[in-house]
Amino acid sequence: MDQLLLKLEDNFEEMVSIRRYLHEHPELSHQEIHTPAYIANYHQELGLEVREFVGGRGVVATLKGSKPGKTVALRADFDALAIQELNDVPYKSKNDGVMHACGHDGHTATLLVLAKALTEMRDQLSGTIVFIHQHAEELAPGGAKAMIEDGCLDGVDVIFGTHLWAPTPLGEVLVREGAIMAAADRFEIVIQGKGGHGAEPQHSVDAIVVGAHFVTQLQTIVSRRIAPLESAVVTLGQFEAINPFNVIADTVKMQGTVRAFDEQVRRQMKEEIELLLKATCLGMHADYRFDYFDGYPPVVNHVEQTQLVAQIANETPGVEKVTVCSPFMIGEDYGYYMQHVPGTFFFTGAKDPDWETVYPHHHARFDFDERAMLIAAKVLGQATLEFLLTEQREEE
């Protein structure tokens, strides 16, 4: 373990350099070309087996130890967001309108340098380590599902992943058994009324009034139809009806999102929304169209792997605090991996203590303390080695 920590510390400057290069050259989801090529080339220079275009644009590199054993997968995402960066830093994005505003550049740099350190320890490894570099996390249907279908988890026994998290102070690691992130679904609604003159509503069906009734009742689903000890969110982000001031609207369009940690609650939310929409439109003589799009599943951590990461983090230099966090209502397609193999996903605090203002993820001024990458690599690497060593001892 100490050898790994020293190797990571010795290569921290390279980790920062990689992160900053990737930050300067961000690419959008499903449009990644240079980033996966860069990742593949790095692994190839390490002498690892590399598969490109996995599930579309993903990269999978495999490190085989000198002795047989179990297989651990480590995952990092590498896509960016359609945001114009406003930071005044030397490594500012060079791609207009595209920015690494969620830390995926840091995730990638962390995994690449960790792969380098572990490769230098190949002769001491019993088992296999698979480095999964995933495209398109930010845009559903995402890259995880496609990469799994293309075999990225074949032969994998366990998976670990982390997210650099700017709201949490550097030195703090967040873990949680069970659901740590929510399912994230999307829906679209069209209410069809009957347009007419604003002075003669009796001859029309006002789609705005119908829509307004629906919106005001929508939040009663969570407060009155979902059990109080369960969690769910439904949010309307769009309500559109564009008409002249004196015309009764015949059409209203809405879009929204549903979040839930439990699959049964997730299904119930979908059913309740349509039931309410149907009843509202029926009672007010309107028609409707309801389209519901299943997004990412909840990220549900397995107990054994979460306990392992918590134990490792508590012993890792640079980690000052390990916190059992509350679950987050944000979504991540990492949950797909743990539908197939056991694993865990944790958050690595990346808030620079010297910054007066910390901008949230997906903000045009987002940034993070790069020292968090070193902590993330140490926890991921040590958890990997501990798992392989434990399995080796049990087999002996």
| Whether 14 and 162 share a structural domain | yes
The CATH number for 115's domain is 3.40.630.10
Q: How do residues 230-239 score in pLDDT, each as one tens digit? A: 999 999 999 9
Counting the structural domains of the chain, the total is 2
- Which whole-number Å values give the CA distances from 212 to 198, 220, 248, 284, in the listed order? 17, 14, 14, 12
**Annotated catalytic residue, options 27, 85, 105, 137:** 137
| Whether 175 and 207 share a structural domain | no
H-helix or E-strand spanning residue 167: strand 158-169
Task: Give 264-292 as a DSSP string.
Answer: HHHHHHHHHHHHHHHHHHHHTT-EEEEEE
| Whether 134 and 225 share a structural domain | no
> How confident is residue 172, by pLDDT bands cut at 50, 70 and 90?
very high
304 is catalytic: no
| Whether 304 and 166 share a structural domain | yes
| Whether 290 and 362 share a structural domain | no
Q: How do residues 278-330 score in pLDDT, each as one tens digit? A: 999 999 999 999 999 999 999 999 999 999 999 999 999 999 999 999 999 99
| Whether 273 and 302 share a structural domain | no
Q: How do residues 139-154 score in pLDDT, each as one tens digit? A: 999 999 999 999 999 9
- The candidate with the shortest Cα–Cα distance to 56, out of 2, 135, 165, is 135
The last residue of a domain, from among 244, 270, 296: 296
Query: What is the span of the domain harbouring residue 111?
Result: 2-181+298-395
Q: How do residues 220-230 score in pLDDT, each as one tens digit? A: 999 999 999 99
Q: Please give the structure tokens belonging to residue 190.
A: 């069209």
* In the block, residue with structure tokens 């960790």: 114
**Mean pLDDT over residues 104-133, rounded?**
98
| Whether 104 and 162 share a structural domain | yes
The last residue of a domain, from among 296, 313, 340: 296
The answer to the question of whether 104 is labelled as a binding residue is: yes
Check pLDDT > 70 for residue 395: no
| Whether 287 and 302 share a structural domain | no
> How confident is residue 356, by pLDDT bands cut at 50, 70 and 90?
confident
Could you give the percent of the chain with pLDDT greater than 90? Answer: 97
Could you give the percent of the chain with pLDDT greater than 70? Answer: 99
**Mean pLDDT over residues 144-173, rounded?**
99
The answer to the question of whether 138 is labelled as a binding residue is: yes
**Annotated catalytic residue, options 79, 105, 333, 370:** 79
| Whether 289 and 319 share a structural domain | no
The answer to the question of whether 362 is labelled as a binding residue is: yes
pTM: 0.94
| Whether 377 and 258 share a structural domain | no
> How confident is residue 386, by pLDDT bands cut at 50, 70 and 90?
very high
The answer to the question of whether 363 is labelled as a binding residue is: no
The CATH number for 253's domain is 3.30.70.360
Give the largest CA-CA distance in the chain. Answer: 86
The last residue of a domain, from among 272, 296, 320: 296
| Whether 272 and 317 share a structural domain | no
137 is catalytic: yes
| Whether 192 and 230 share a structural domain | yes
Burial of 117 from C-beta contacts in 10 A (0-12 / 13-18 / 19+):
buried
How confident is the model at residue 396, as a pLDDT?
Answer: 60
